[in-house]
Amino acid sequence: MDAELHELSAGFALDALEPEQRDAFERHLAGCPECQEELASFWEVAGALAVAADSAAPSPELRDRILADARGEKQTVVSLDSGRRVSPGLAAVTAVAAAVAIGLGIYAVSLNNDLDSTRLALSAQGSAAALLADSSATSVALQSGTGRLVVGDGGAAVLVLNDLPAAPSGKTYQAWIVDGEMSVSAGTFTSTNDQAVVPIPQAVPDGAVVAVTIEQSGGASSPTLPPLAASEPV
Amino acid sequence: MFFPSSAVVALVDTPVTWSMRKHLAHLSDEALVALVARGDDSALAELYDRVGRVAYGLAFRVLRDDRLAEDAVQDAFLAVWRTAAAFRAERAKVSTWILTLVHRRAVDVVRREERRRAEPLDDTTRVAATSESAEDAAWLGFERDRVKEALRQLPDAQREAIELAYYGGYSQSELAERLGLPLGTIKSRMFAGLARLRELLDDGAEEGSWTLNFTN
């Protein structure tokens, strides 16, 4: 472990790093379980500092504004930027939100301690984060299952599934692009803590559906069971 | 477990009644985030009721402006609304996640606007009129005192580095320049200070009020 990089965990938790150092630390973090552990506990300390920050109270209207904003986006098929007033920097904070979520999610993929698969999973999650944070992306509801399909320019897509228990031993989840009668595999994936964020490796054509089945480990060449989850047509 | 979509829609569309709010009050923060990920705005409201006060205090401390502080909190909660599905709860508390979002947003704004440079850096906590329950107020007050006491026990140089960074929004490089110290010294002070603070808070958490255990 690089001691100098390790020390950056404190500055990272306090948001006190310059952008280059923040990037360097994030890259290091992906392969360093010690730093992941350290950062998690430093984030908790920062949370304690937040409690002691100031006793000032927000106006009661703030709560109403937040809920009005959220309800403004609540549709079954919603553009993530459906004409609402976007405050300056909102796209940036959304990107940060995704990055922080993914950052915390590093634990899930690093448990096996396999650097290559960790990096692979991180880079897949990284592109998923970018798409989830893209204000021009469209959110497509699922017709079965819980979650959503987020579709960006050119059919790039990420399937987000909630309430998906880990696949039983010997089984795997597999995503499919279903276009008319054609089903093309979009790869196998696992669920961690009942959630899965699945970047779809191919473009999803207009009118196609993204579906999920459970298959034997290694995956199948075509779906062998009815889907557990499926999106509305894109 | 998968629910038919109709069941999900029914859940989402349930009017927010008092009994539902009461029901949400018994859910863990993680369960609320899962509901938020499904588009349940009453779950978002409950999260705001739990974390919003501290979130605002943090944003206000950094930004020193109530309008900017409210904007930072609003942006952060909207980000929670949009990205709840991507949140991984196994190793971090929901409140920590939300406060991290608020802090990053506030620091971004303060660095861009050069707002805090002339502000006093000592503790200028003001008491505000609030509608929070006496119980919440007592808990917050207790925690605040405990954290401040832990901060007081840090060596001055470490406390200064942490407070200027976290409450003042200064980067390590800015601090090195401002204090006329090598960057390496600032990094070491921040690391040592945060590690010491973690110990102090941990020791004081025997009674179980502040916990480093991740929830659930």
Residue B140 pLDDT:
84
Close Cβ partners of B133 (under 8 Å, ≥ 6 residues apart): none
pLDDT band at A179; cut points 50, 70, 90: confident
The 10 Å Cβ neighbour count of residue B136 is 13
Residue B90 pLDDT:
60
Higher-confidence position of B209 and A184: A184
Residues of B in contact with A92 (CB under 8 A): 108
Q: What beta strand segments (E) does A70-117 contain?
A: 78-79
Mean pLDDT of A83-109: 43
Residue B178 pLDDT:
94
Mean pLDDT of A222-233: 85
* pLDDT for residue B216 is more than 80: no
* pLDDT for residue A51 is more than 60: yes
How big is the A-B interface in CB pairs under 8 Å?
Answer: 284
* B116, β-bridge pairs: none
Residues of B in contact with A164 (CB under 8 A): 2
- Where exactly are the structural domains of chain B? 15-119, 127-208
What tokens does B104 get? 């990053």
Q: Which residues of A219-234 are buried (b: 16+ CB within 10 A; e: fewer)?
A: ebeebeeebebbbbeb
The maximal CA–CA distance of chain B, rounded, in angstroms, is: 63
- Where exactly are the structural domains of chain A? 3-132, 139-231
Higher-confidence position of B1 and A191: A191
Q: Out of 3.40.50, 1.10.3710, 2.60.40, 1.10.405, select the CATH number for domain A139-231.
A: 2.60.40
Q: Which fold has domain B127-208?
A: Arc Repressor Mutant, subunit A (1.10.10)
Query: Which residue in the set A7, A57, A71 is minimally distant from B187, CB to CB?
Result: A7
Residues of A in contact with B127 (CB under 8 A): 55
Convert the pLDDT of each residue in B14-72 to its tens digit: 344 444 455 688 888 888 888 888 788 899 999 999 999 999 999 999 999 999 999 99
Place of tokens 């620091």: B107
Task: Identify whether the C-beta of residue B69 lies closer than 8 Å to the C-beta of residue B54.
Answer: no
Residue A215 pLDDT:
87
Quote the mean pLDDT of chain A. Answer: 75
* pLDDT for residue B196 is more than 90: yes
ipTM greater than 0.95, yes or no?
A: no
Mean pLDDT of B129-150: 78
Higher-confidence position of A128 and B191: B191
* pLDDT for residue B193 is more than 50: yes
The number of angstroms, rounded, from the C-alpha of B210 to the middle of its chain's C-alpha atoms is 14
User: Was domain B15-119 assigned CATH 1.10.1740.10?
Assistant: yes
Chain A: nearest CA to B196, how far in angstroms? 10
Convert the pLDDT of each residue in A4-33 to its tens digit: 889 999 999 999 999 888 888 887 887 788
The 10 Å Cβ neighbour count of residue A202 is 13
